[in-house]
Chain A
């Protein structure tokens, strides 16, 4: 080998350095007001806003602020969270009027000069504070049969698939079932009958999987009057998805597949 690689030297120390030696200095702090929509059916049938003020760091997320409230100010505040890193999909909530994951929303990206509003996701029955009953959401999910159905003999090794075939449904494999899309959909808000974007996304994941044999059954289910045809392409779901799934496009592809099958 003739080329000489110039390597950057390792930093002398990984501990925090003062600014004049090249360190980043202290993490900036700021005061925020968190305005949480509280609901506790044991005390009142009405929900109400409650403000919490605290000092937070520039690296903190809305979830950290909620933790601070629960651990230091009011232990009765209830919300779901599990992994806290945007993978489990437990902490979808309506932050400043938009459906997002509390664990993926940095406080510094929000307007901290005004109170930050945090509400439960809309369209599902609230159980307490930020916790909603997810059962209707999962009911729709189950109805589209989100599992591989293959009538061939079970192979002794894995079912092979070309990279192109895998690419076809790659986008919709990313869903973490946080319900941010379904609870951002105005059609779902009204009567809760619509299957909702999340169920259609998960049907799409199997309909366009070359290894799956039950695409027709799923298309038949989604051809229901509460199925894909209730989509009004408002793109709320695509905007809400914390995983960046092109939800509205997936729904449109399912519509086309139903049309192609029927006509």
Chain B
């Protein structure tokens, strides 16, 4: 054996991937994430096209959309549940998609962690805020006197 044998090329350089596989994960999270993407995708097609049809085609169609139109929809529990389902499924579907893209393309663990943290915080804020709005929306808040829509009872 010669002692001056050269190191294996590229295997140890900074940008080369480490091939030793991380410890095996004994959870089915990735399977459920995969399944969720398919199922939520199917449900979202129904929800989104139903949403577009009702908003843009039915009745006066696009000309009927204003503050009052949205306020009217959210006074109906049916549309509250519809919009809530759309919000949750779309955000979780999108978040999982971006998570996958980060996993596939981020080359360093640090980059991956940072990007995913930003992603999860952003999704959590949107989901919480959106849910709050859908359930607590009141077009005529008590105490307000200016800029009230015309259908509110005059105080």
Contact = CB atoms under 8 A, between A and B. Distances in A.
Q: Do A and B form a real pair?
A: yes
Contact of A225 (B10, B30, B105, B106): B30
Interface stretch (B16-24, B64-72, B133-141): B16-24
A39 B100 CA distance: 33
Given A125-B9, A262-B31, 11 more contacts: A42-B6, A135-B19, A143-B21, A187-B104, A190-B106, A192-B19, A223-B28, A224-B24, A225-B25, A229-B33, A230-B103
A262 B29 CA distance: 12
Interface string A238-263: 00000000000000000100110010
B22 A126 contact: no
Contacts of A41: 6, 9-10
A92 B29 CA distance: 35
Interface string B95-115: 000001001111100000000
Interface size band for B? 20 to 34
Interface of B: 6, 8-11, 16-19, 21-22, 24-25, 27-31, 33-35, 100, 103-107
B6 A227 contact: no
Contacts of A232: 100, 104
Interface residue tally on A, bucketed by range:
20 to 34
A135 B24 CA distance: 19
A136 B11 CA distance: 11
A224 B6 contact: no
A46 to B, nearest CB: 11
A225 B8 CA distance: 29
A255 B27 CA distance: 15
A127 B12 CA distance: 12
A133 B31 contact: no
26 contacts: A39-B9, A41-B9, A45-B9, A123-B17, A125-B11, A126-B9, A126-B10, A127-B9, A133-B11, A135-B19, A136-B19, A139-B21, A140-B21, A190-B17, A191-B18, A191-B107, A192-B17, A192-B19, A193-B17, A193-B22, A223-B28, A224-B25, A225-B27, A225-B29, A226-B22, A262-B31
B135 to A, nearest CB: 32
